[in-house]
Amino acid sequence: MVYQEIMPQALALMTDVFGNYVIQKFFEHGLASQRRELANKLFGHVLTLSLQMYGCRVIQKAIEVVDLDQKIKMVEELNGHVMRCVRDQNGNHVIQKCIECVPEENIQFIVTTFFDQVVTLSTHPYGCRVIQRILEHCKDSKTQSKVMDEILGSVSMLAQDQYGNYVVQHVLEHGKPHERSIIIEELAGKIVQMSQQKFASNVVEKCLTFGGPNERQLLVDEMLGSTDENEPLQAMMKDQFANYVVQKVLETCEDQQRELILSRIKVHLNALKKYTYGKHIVARVEKLVAAGERRIAAQSPHPA
């Protein structure tokens, strides 16, 4: 009964603030035959709906649940309009859903649109999400290496960008070890200045979290500096962003490294208390020092 009444008005309901939910529910729970018939109503309107605030939700739901032949037919209507959708606040969600739910061989036209545009898209508020979906779902080795080469070719710039940093973080977290190494090597030598930047500091934290022991050592050495004054570390501890990186170092490094860094920090504790951001470190260090002393006390045969 419900279906009979809704069907003649289906298209209008798809772009309605409330009606779109009812159509979505039909895609989820309708009979297979009803779902197919409803999907047929979308043909010829996929682009318009994708760019519309409520219609884009219906399209996303349809891409999730309809039969493969209908998915493919729907997605083909976006051919030639991919970039327009990616840059659109509604359409970008549809493109993301295509990458997630449609087999790779059927969305090649989407993927190839991004070739030579990866860096530009990575620095775009919606494009950066789409690039992350490509990295997650496109397993074709040619696609992977093409996209990855473009990202790795501009790592320093992307790391400092308000959107690009998310793409670099994504590679550090989910990429292959050699890709992670390339990023860390590229950022090495700039770690201290990167840590003092709002966006890049998050990337440095991810390097510490996901890098291997040797890579972490490389970064820590750079923060400690080459002289006994350990100026880089001092500057970082007082900085509004870099202080979090120092905290991440203390959290991720091995015990031996931690003892060394703590001994370097202890010297500056009183001075740090004067700085707004230094206080975070002081609290973290005092906790770690106490824990370290308890550990040492527990290991020593004679009571102190």
Of 138, 175, 130, nearest to 155 by C-alpha is 175
Q: For 142-190, write each residue's pLDDT tens digit.
A: 999 999 999 999 999 999 999 999 999 999 999 999 999 999 999 999 9
Sequence-separated (6 or more) residues with CB below 8 Å from residue 241 = 195, 196, 197, 198, 201
pLDDT at 241 over 80: yes
pLDDT at 266: 79
pLDDT at 278 over 80: no
Contact 256, 248 (CB under 8 A): no
Q: For 195-204, write each residue's pLDDT tens digit.
A: 999 999 999 9
> What is the residue-wise DSSP string for 208-240?
HHHS-HHHHHHHHHHHH-SSTT-HHHHHHHHST
Mean pLDDT of the 110-118 span: 96
Of 77, 243, 8, 35, nearest to 233 by C-alpha is 243
pLDDT at 232: 87
pLDDT-based confidence at residue 302 (cuts at 50, 70, 90): low
Burial 142-164 (b: 16+ CB within 10 A, else e): ebbebbbebbbebbbebbbbebb
pLDDT-based confidence at residue 262 (cuts at 50, 70, 90): confident
pLDDT at 237: 86
The phi and psi torsions of 297 (rounded to 5 degrees) equal: -60, -40
Each domain of the chain, given as residue ranges in start order, spans: 1-82, 188-296
- In Å, how far are 111, 145, 187 from 207, measured between CA atoms? 28, 21, 9
Mean pLDDT of the 283-293 span: 75
**Mean pLDDT over the full length of the chain:** 91
Higher pLDDT among residues 231 and 121, named by residue: 121
Range among 12-21, 253-262, 270-279 rated most confident: 12-21
Higher pLDDT among residues 263 and 183, named by residue: 183
Mean pLDDT of the 97-107 span: 97
pLDDT at 303 over 70: no
pLDDT at 32 over 90: yes
Q: Extract long-range pairs of 3-10: CB within 8 Å, 24+ residues apart.
A: 3/30, 3/34, 7/37, 7/38, 7/41, 10/38, 10/41
Mean pLDDT of the 191-213 span: 95
Contact 187, 204 (CB under 8 A): yes
Which tokens in the block code for residue 46? 């996929």
Q: Extract long-range pairs of 20-25: CB within 8 Å, 24+ residues apart.
A: 20/54, 20/55, 20/57, 20/58, 23/58, 23/61, 24/57, 24/58, 24/61
pLDDT at 227: 67
Sequence-separated (6 or more) residues with CB below 8 Å from residue 84 = 51, 91
Of 212, 149, 161, 224, nearest to 184 by C-alpha is 212
pLDDT at 66 over 90: yes
Mean pLDDT of the 57-79 span: 97
Mean pLDDT of the 251-259 span: 85
Q: Helix, strand, or coil here: 69?
A: helix
pLDDT at 254: 85
